[in-house]
Structures are given as C-alpha cells and as structure tokens.
Amino acid sequence: MWYELQPLSVAVGWAVFGLVLFEYGLLRNTRQFRFQAYVALAAAFGRIFFANLTAGNPGEFWGPRMYTVLPLTLIFFFVYAQLGPDEASIRDDRRLHFDDLLGYVGTGSIVALLSFQFANDWLVTAWAVVVFVLFGVALLLKRSMFLHQGILLIVGTSARVMHNLFGASYFSGGDWTGGYFVLGSAVAVMLACLPFAFRLRDRLKAQAPMNRLMGAVVRHPEQFMFFAPVLLFTLMLALKMRAGMVTVAWGIEGALIMLLALAVSERSYRLTGLTLLLVCVGRIMVRDAWGLAPRDRYITFIILGAALLLVSLLYSKYRDAIRQFL
Amino acid sequence: MKRLAIFVVVLATGVTALYFSQRRHESTPVSSNAVVEVAADAQRNLSRVPMRLTRLSDDDEVAIGKQLADQYSAGTTQLSPEELGLESYIRRVGNNVALHARRHLPYSFHLLPNRAMINAFALPGGPVYVGEGLLDLMTSEDQLAAVLGHEGEHIDHYHCVERLQVEARLRKLRLNIIGALVQIPLTIWEAGYNKDEELEADREGMRLAVLGGYSPYCAVTLFEKFAKLHNEYIIHAQSPEEELSELTIQSLEGYFRSHPQPSERLAQANRLIAQESWQDRKTQRPFRVEYETRSGKYVK
C-alpha cells in the first residue's frame, strides 16, 4: 500500500485495511488479526502527521485534510465501540488496553485535525467544544475514558489560551474579536460543561475508589470545569481590559461567581468569588483610589459598592444554605 | 444486523475517502512540518509568560546583538568591491525600511557573499544578514525591501531576543557573563521561527516596506517565485524510500526549511493587500546596484 497509494491516501488505506482485518479477527475470533489491525490503525494515526494534516491549500475548509482524517476518526471510534466491556471474546484486547489506545487515537485525530483546520485564535474555542462533547459522551456512554480525555484536553486548552493572551503581536492592538469574543466563547463553552461535570461527579462518588492521585483528579471534574475557565477569564480581564476598568470587571465577575456558588452550593466556588471581591477591595485601597482618572474612580467605587452590597444581601438571605456548605 | 450496517457505512466512508484522495491530481509532499509546527507552537505558548517577565532591555539586546555579530563575522573573508557595492545597496534599502520600525534600534544590514545561501536572518538588537543566493532570485528593489522588512520585524517584534533567551535557558547560559554567547551557534538564527512568528514578520514587514515607499506586491511576486521554487525543490515522493529521502532533505540547510509554505504566505500577502486597499500600488522599482568602476574594475 505504501508503494502503490498516493502519499495522501496511505493513512486511509492502512486504516481501511485495519478495519477489515479487525472485523475478520472478530468474526473468526482470531486474536492475531485483531492485533495486526491495531498496529495498522496506530500507524495510520501516526501517518496523518506526515502527509494529511498539512495537505490542502490555505483557506480550503473541505479539503483533503478533512476528507481523509474524518473517516479515519470514524474508523477508530467504530473499532473502539466494538471493544465494549460486555464482549468476552476480546478480553485480551482490553487487558492490553487496545480499547484505550483506539479511544485516545480517535480523539487525538480530531484534536489534531482542529489544530490545523482552525485559525490559531479560534483553536481554543474548537477544543473547548471537543471538551463539551467528551464530557457529554462520558455521561451518555458511562465510559470514564472520555472524562479522562476531557480533563486532559481542558488542561491543553488552558495552556493554549496562553497563545490568545500573550501570543498576539506586541504592537498590533487587535480587534474586539481577538480581545474578548474568542476567549469569551471558549470560556462560555467550558462553563457549559459544568452540568455534565456535576452529574459525572455524582456518578463517580458511587463507584469504588481508585488510586489516590488519579482519584483526586478524576473525581472532581466540576472543579476543573470551574477553575480553568474562571482563571482564564480573570486573566483575560486583567490583560485585555483598560487598566481603569479591571477592578470593576473583576468585581462583577466575583459577584457572578457568588451567584453561581449559591445556585450549585459549592464551597470552593463561593470562596473563589469572595477572594476575587476581596482582591478588588485591596486593589481599590492600594491602587485605584489614588491612581485612577476621576471618571474611572467613580465607576469603580459605584460598581464595586453595588457588587459588595449584593453579596452581603445574598449572604444574609441565604444564611442557612451558606452555613451548610461552609 | 445493526452492527453490520454500521460497519458497512464506516467501510464505505473509508473507501470513498480513499477514492477521492487517490483521484486528487495535486501531489501532497510528505514532511515533518505538522510535527514541527505542533512542537514549536507548544514551546512558544509555554515560554510566552516567562519571556515577558524576563524581558531584556533594548540596551542589553543591542549589546548582545553586537557581540554576536562580531563573534560570527570573525574570520570571514573581506568583501570584494562588487560585493561592497551590493552591500551598500542593501544598507540603503534596509535603512529606508527600518525607519518605520516600532523600536528604534541601531539596525544594520549586511551581505553574506555566498551564492548558495538562499536565506536571510537577523540577530537581536539590529544586525540583518542577506545571502547572495537570495539576492540572485530578486528582480526588484521592492522585493529586497520585503525581505529586509521581514527580517527587521523579527527583531522589532522580539522574536530574535526571545529565541536568544530560550537558547540561553536551554544551554544554561548567563547572558551577563562575557563569553557566554560563544556557545550560541549561528545556525539557530538561520533556522527560522515558528509559523506564527514568520507570518507576523511577513505581515509587519510588508507594512514597513509600504511605509518605506515600496510596492506591497513585492512580497507577492517574491512568494510566487518561492512557491515555484518550492514545488521544484521538494521531491514528490512516489515510494517509501523517496518519502524518507524527502524527510532527510528537509533537514538540510535552506530557505524552505525555516519558513511556512509559500502558498500560505502568498495567501496572507494577498489578504493584507485587499484589507489595506493597496491594490493600486503595483509599480516596483528595478533591482539596480550602482557601482563605481575605474579602468574597467570595480572600486569602493
């Protein structure tokens, strides 16, 4: 195949061959055919980095990159789906973690495809959407591998946000889409994963404990899905807002976090909101009261005062609820 | 039955993709570009914050750049009068372009008298070097302005100094110690930057050239030439052996190792021209070096 096919087709050829081999191995219950199929599929995945991901012309959306990598992803996930926990005949395949390999290779191909398909700035939003889908799939299929992938990708997305926050030109200011819209949409998609994350946490609570480190990480997806976007949003406000408006923006963010914390009864969220409000108060006393232009100073005092009033009102109104999750 | 139907659909999708990829007339080069891009991107994203926090002052950058330039030029041959004429031409065009840079650094422009060198590079703090092989490809002064603008913007936008900082960190060098820079080889400057930085230098370099009174189409004609050369230069592999040799050739010295695909750069240049409404600035000045000759020989 490597000799006969075009460079662009080799990965697809190997994957189709792997698929047929896998089916044959499954049909005849022959382990060696299935194992060979896994090798062919893994090789196809590796191959896309050398021929498929950089194929096509600039600005071409439905180009050779898309129509060769997407079918590969489909094949990877199809094979992964056949390796379900109920199948006794493929126990060895699962023992050797070929199911995990296929699952990771499938998601990896999508993540890699998006990296080359989308403009650099929009990549964080695209990856955030993949995180959303992974969390949804983890909940729907009850397979924790997708949750692990989602957590890994949220870490990757957060690292990638450094490109949006610090990677822009040192001199070109950039427009509002570069400044707020792209990052704002990524943060919104990440926060949209919170309902999935809470339901996954509740499900994981009922399961047997796993090893300490993995357990701590995986059993609290709601913490990842909260702290990653909040941290990114706070950083974005600090870096992209006009200096005079940063305290105001953080104050509003702190009040919104408090509201969210009350809605979901989550202690860490509430403490984060409070910390942010306290930082704002400190910032006003140390910096804003002395350094800001009069107009910015008035706006800061009014909005932060309103935010603090709102929080104290909420505290007194929901005193009992707050006491429960202190 | 349901499983079989899904299998058939997946298989059919794979076979259809195979059919279309086989029918594609345009040949796809096999390269490690995707892997290199991912690695370079990751390195840049992770190093941006430390870079900002440990930024060298302009004065330090200039001093280090000068030291590097002295170090690299030690032992090089004296330029012939003809080459000196060419260098003074480069300097004139370069100074014209660098006037509009954002940072006011002592930019200097030099010729590398090597016809095999189809490349240009910059050092932190101001020095820019252009290979004679690259000049041989040029047909207009505007194209020279585009190249010098591009390299100047690598300096202006801190790409060079950030590379220096990364190298110093990787090699555990302290930049304030005299002689530490000896360990930084010239090849790291010739190797080019990541895709984002190269495209930024293209964009901003074009702006500099236009502000210097040159045509934005200089970059377009140059990239078209590069695209043509690129197609001739790369091997369109037909077998695994050819693919492996193609990957090896990509590691050899040359312009195409260190820069994004010319088609991508060309697309960006055309986008920028449309965005800035520069369509009417088509006229380019000829590449014309003025020499002084005495008794049929070139003199200074």
Q: For the ranges A165-179, A192-206, A215-229, A256-270, which has the lowest average pLDDT? A: A165-179
pLDDT of residue A318: 73
pLDDT of residue A181: 86
Q: B254's torsion region: left (phi>0), alpha (psi -120 to 50) or beta?
A: left
Using N-to-C axis directions, what is the helix angle for A194-205 and A182-192, rounded to 10°?
30
DSSP code at position A218: H
- Contacting residues of B for A157, CB less than 8 Å apart: none
- Contacting residues of A for B158, CB less than 8 Å apart: 170
Asked if A75 has any chain B CB less than 8 Å from its own CB, the reply is yes
Extract the tokens encoding A159. Answer: 């690292």
pLDDT of residue B248: 65
Q: For A51-70, what is the mean pLDDT?
A: 85
Kindly indicate the confidence band of residue A159, based on its pLDDT and cuts at 50, 70 and 90. confident
Q: For A199-209, what is the mean pLDDT?
A: 78
State yes or no: pLDDT of A261 exceeds 70: yes
How far apart CA A191 and CA A195 sit, in angstroms, is 9
Greatest mean pLDDT among A141-145, B31-35, B260-264? A141-145
Question: Hey, of B10, B197, B238, B248, which one would you mutate to test binding to chain A, going by the most A CBs within 10 A of its CB?
Answer: B10
Paired sense of beta strands B127-131 and B108-112, if any: parallel
Greatest mean pLDDT among A33-47, A169-183, B31-45? A33-47
**Residue B62 in domain:** yes
Extract the tokens encoding A84. Answer: 């379900």
- Contacting residues of A for B32, CB less than 8 Å apart: 49-50
pTM of the predicted structure, to 2 decimals? 0.80
Q: Is B117 exposed, middle or buried (0-12, 13-18, 19+ CB in 10 A)?
A: buried
Residue A295: enclosing H or E segment and its boundaries? Answer: helix A294-317
How far apart CA B210 and CA B35 sit, in angstroms, is 34
How far apart CA B296 and CA B300 sit, in angstroms, is 13
pLDDT > 90 in chain B, percent: 26
Extract the tokens encoding A15. Answer: 């994957």
Secondary structure class of A62 (helix, strand, coil): coil
Which residues touch B4 (CB under 8 Å, ≥6 apart)? none
State yes or no: pLDDT of B148 exceeds 50: yes
**Residue B239 in domain:** yes
**Residue B243 in domain:** yes
**Domain count across chain B:** 1
Residue B294: enclosing H or E segment and its boundaries? Answer: strand B292-294
- Contacting residues of B for A72, CB less than 8 Å apart: 14, 17
**Residue B5 in domain:** no
Asked if A168 has any chain B CB less than 8 Å from its own CB, the reply is no
How far apart CA B283 and CA B297 sit, in angstroms, is 33
Taking CA atoms, A173 is separated from A166, A167, A303, B277, in Å, by 12, 12, 27, 20
pLDDT > 90 in chain A, percent: 38
Kindly indicate the confidence band of residue B154, based on its pLDDT and cuts at 50, 70 and 90. very high
Q: For the ranges A144-148, A230-234, A243-247, B17-21, which has the lowest average pLDDT? A: A243-247
User: CB distance B28–A49 less than 8 Å?
Assistant: no
State yes or no: pLDDT of B238 exceeds 50: yes
How far apart CA A100 and CA A83 sit, in angstroms, is 9
How far apart CA A172 and CA B156 sit, in angstroms, is 12
Q: Which domain, by its residues, includes B85? A: 34-299
Size of interface A-B (CB pairs under 8 A): 131
Average pLDDT along chain A: 85
Extract the tokens encoding A32. Answer: 């060696």
State yes or no: pLDDT of B151 exceeds 90: yes
Residues B79, B113: contact at Cβ < 8 Å?
Answer: yes
**Residue B225 in domain:** yes
Measure CB to CB from residue A167 to each of B7, B45, B204 and give the nearest one: B45
Nearest CA-CA distance, residue A238 and chain B, Å: 14
pLDDT > 70 in chain A, percent: 91
Kindly indicate the confidence band of residue B2, based on its pLDDT and cuts at 50, 70 and 90. confident
Which residues touch B57 (CB under 8 Å, ≥6 apart)? none
Using N-to-C axis directions, what is the helix angle for B159-170 and B141-156, rounded to 10°?
50
**Residue B6 in domain:** no
Asked if A160 has any chain B CB less than 8 Å from its own CB, the reply is yes
Interface pTM, i.e. ipTM? 0.80
- Contacting residues of B for A58, CB less than 8 Å apart: 261, 263-264, 267-268
Three-state SS for B256-290 is HHHCCCHHHHHHHHHHHHHHCCCCCCCCCCECCCC
- Contacting residues of B for A49, CB less than 8 Å apart: 32, 34-35, 38
Extract the tokens encoding A77. Answer: 């996930």
Greatest mean pLDDT among A11-25, B167-181, B193-207, B228-242? A11-25
**Residue B44 in domain:** yes
Cα B26 to the chain's mean position, in Å?
Answer: 26
CB atoms within 10 A of CB B281: 17
How far apart CA A65 and CA A117 sit, in angstroms, is 8
Task: Give me the helices (H) in chain B, please.
Answer: 2-23, 33-53, 58-73, 81-98, 132-136, 141-156, 159-170, 187-190, 195-211, 217-233, 240-249, 255-258, 262-275
State yes or no: pLDDT of B256 exceeds 60: no
- Contacting residues of A for B49, CB less than 8 Å apart: 162, 166
Q: For A102-124, what is the mean pLDDT?
A: 90
Cα A91 to the chain's mean position, in Å?
Answer: 31
State yes or no: pLDDT of B178 exceeds 70: no
pLDDT > 70 in chain B, percent: 87
How far apart CA A171 and CA A174 sit, in angstroms, is 9
pLDDT of residue B200: 87
Taking CA atoms, A184 is separated from A111, A255, A262, B293, in Å, by 20, 18, 23, 65
Kindly indicate the confidence band of residue B75, based on its pLDDT and cuts at 50, 70 and 90. low
Measure CB to CB from residue A159 to each of B14, B30, B46 and give the nearest one: B46
How far apart CA A219 and CA A204 sit, in angstroms, is 6
Kindly indicate the confidence band of residue B80, based on its pLDDT and cuts at 50, 70 and 90. confident
Q: For A235-248, what is the mean pLDDT?
A: 85
Q: Which residue has the higher pLDDT, B13 or A284?
A: B13
Kindly indicate the confidence band of residue B300, based on its pLDDT and cuts at 50, 70 and 90. very low
DSSP string spanning B4-35?
Answer: HHHHHHHHHHHHHHHHHHHH--SPPPP-SHHH
Residues B236, B173: contact at Cβ < 8 Å?
Answer: no
Residues A68, A52: contact at Cβ < 8 Å?
Answer: yes
Q: For A94-121, what is the mean pLDDT?
A: 89
Residues B156, B107: contact at Cβ < 8 Å?
Answer: no
pLDDT of residue A283: 86
CA pseudo-torsion sign A25, A30, A33, A37: positive
Return the residue of B nearest to A22 by Cα: B7
Taking CA atoms, A40 is separated from A3, A67, A102, B244, in Å, by 15, 19, 11, 19
Asked if A89 has any chain B CB less than 8 Å from its own CB, the reply is no
Structural domain boundaries in chain A: 1-117, 118-240, 241-326
